[in-house]
Amino acid sequence: LADYKGKYLVLYFYPLDFTFVCPTEIIAFSDRIQEFREINCEVVGVSTDSHFSHLAWINMPRKQGGLGGLKYPLAADFNKQIARDYGVLLEEAGIALRGLFIIDPE
């Protein structure tokens, strides 16, 4: 989070890559990222999937269920600590619930 000090940050969690509901919101953030940046705000998505899973999903075309390129980072919370810290981890399933946090510049 230190990389985003001085900016607002939209930090959102989603359960898994390659799911049928999540891409809509994830793509919407990407398509409108410039509007966020104009108001000094960055966006970061987080799931418990690996970095490699994120890359595969980002590189898959939208028409095939992928993200088709993304204009902001997805964080791989493979050890589940970030989701746990934000209270969105389903421990038994090992995945994050959907959740969104707005973090102020300080």
pTM of the model as a whole: 0.93
Residue 68 and residue 61 in contact, taking contact as beta carbons nearer than 8 Å: yes
CATH 3.30.70.20 fits 7-75+88-103, yes or no: no
41 is catalytic: no
pLDDT score for 21: 67
User: Per the residue annotation, which of 9, 11, 22, 82 is the catalytic one?
Assistant: 22
Q: What percent of the chain has pLDDT over 90?
A: 90
Q: What is the pLDDT confidence band of residue 37, given thresholds at 50, 70 and 90?
A: very high
pLDDT score for 71: 97
Overall average pLDDT of the 94-100 stretch: 97
> Would residue 25 be called left, alpha or beta, if left means φ above 0 and alpha means ψ between -120 and 50 degrees?
alpha
Overall average pLDDT of the 1-7 stretch: 92
pLDDT score for 74: 97
Overall average pLDDT of the 10-36 stretch: 93
d(CA 96, CA 100): 11
Residue ranges of domains in the chain: 7-75+88-103
